[in-house]
Structure 1
Amino acid sequence: MEDNAWLADAVARVGADPAAIVRAFAAAGRHCDDAAAARARLLRALPPDVLPYWIDDLYRHGDTNEKLAILTALPGLPLGAEAVPLLHDAIRTNDTRLLAAALGPYAGRLDQHAWRHAVLKCVFLAVPLEVVSDLDRRADRELTAMVAALRAEREAAGRRLPDDAYRLLDPIP
């Protein structure tokens, strides 16, 4: 299904007229086998000075697959912290795919408080912790205490934490 000619043309259109990304971004799912990779390529075609505006607009108006493509593309885009609000939005959802994508490499821009709560939400929703970038480096005593409290809650209800969450209960120096 992938039409390299279509993608090359769409990338050229977006480079010449950033507003062209609105239609191209949505259409990528119909024209390309790997829509996420095609969407990332379209985002990289945007001039850096308008990139924050367009990723925000596309994310806010996009479907789940479009949002997921943006979140996974963030680490490869020339951005500072402009897209952190998108991470907060993804973390607020109960869509485990968006939550996992929000905790990729770009999540290094989240403050520690927000990051801890996002990791705790992963544990709560049984999102594998292997998706959390820099987990071992960023985990701290406060996260351990939060996970311990969740474990106590779960055990009182006769349930367990996901197996990978127990590593967060090890003492943090």
Structure 2
Amino acid sequence: MAILHAPENGWLAGAERRIRQRPTAVHEEFSLVGRAVGRGPVRPEADPQGLVFGTVDDRARARLLTVLAEVLPPGLLEDEVERLYRRGDDAEQRGVLRALAMLPASCTRLGLELVADGLRSRDPLLIAAAMGPFAALHLDQVRWRHGVMTCLLAGVTLSAVAELVPRTDSELLRMAHELAQQQRAAGRDIGPDLRALLGMTVLLALMPRPRGGLR
């Protein structure tokens, strides 16, 4: 995910400076982000809900966390990131989830816990944020498949799932076919994302599969 450039008003650059001077200021700055830089989608025409590319405030919060990671040692960084997530509202939690891939390896264990929490949410934006680059890199195959199915059931476009094609396997396709059968039995239409996933069966057969991949 690209990092947001500082807004014209300079607020974000100022917030970065304040965090460098006093790292605990991140809690104050985090809560001010939406009002300071806006809450709209990064690419409104292609992604009006901000599910795929996130929102302007997502990007700004991710940038603040990368600054925090530069000034705090690993243990303290993990504590502060967890505090920001646990005490934050939905937008602040989303910002943390979208920043996980930018944080050092010391935050991986915490990141896995936060992704699991995000996937338990009923908020499509949180679910989409949870299935970003961090999940693609660190979730094992069982939990990653669960995340994809959660997206389908919550109506979150699979375009929000990082590395969807290379990580799709026969078990995920079996689960997708089962969901499609349930949808048909209930008289419900099969959505475009589920239909597209079902169409990957032929593609999967043609793709070389890595040896000893994630399980």
Normalized against structure 2, the TM-score is what? 0.73
Q: Of 28, 31, 36, which residue of structure 2 is paired with 1:23?
A: 28
* Structure 1: unaligned runs, 5 residues or longer: none
Residues 1:13 and 2:18 are matched in the alignment? yes
1:2 touches 1:32 (CA, 8 Å); kept in 2? no
- Counterpart residue number, 1:91: 119
2:19 touches 2:25 (CA, 8 Å); kept in 1? yes
Q: Which deviations, in whole Å up to 9, do the C-alpha atoms of 1:16-69 show, x marking residues without a partner?
A: 322111111112222223433332222112125232221111011111111111
Secondary structure, aligned partner of 1:144: helix
* Structure 2: unaligned runs, 5 residues or longer: 1-6, 39-55, 206-215
Amino acid at match of 2:62: A
Normalized against structure 1, the TM-score is what? 0.89
The CA deviation at 1:2 is 6.3
- Mapped to 2, the partners of 1:144 and 1:48 lie a distance apart of 42
Q: Of 110, 114, 133, which residue of structure 1 is paired with 2:162?
A: 133
- Counterpart residue number, 1:115: 144
Judge which range, 7-16 or 56-65, deviates more.
7-16
Judge which range, 69-78 or 117-126, deviates more.
69-78
Residues 1:79 and 2:105 are matched in the alignment? yes
Aligned length: 172
**RMSD between superposed Cα atoms in Å:** 1.9
- Mapped to 2, the partners of 1:67 and 1:152 lie a distance apart of 34
Q: Of 55, 58, 80, which residue of structure 1 is paired with 2:81?
A: 55
Q: Of 124, 128, 136, which residue of structure 2 is paired with 1:100?
A: 128
- Mapped to 2, the partners of 1:161 and 1:144 lie a distance apart of 14
- Segments of 4+ moved more than 6 angstroms: none
Residues 1:66 and 2:106 are matched in the alignment? no
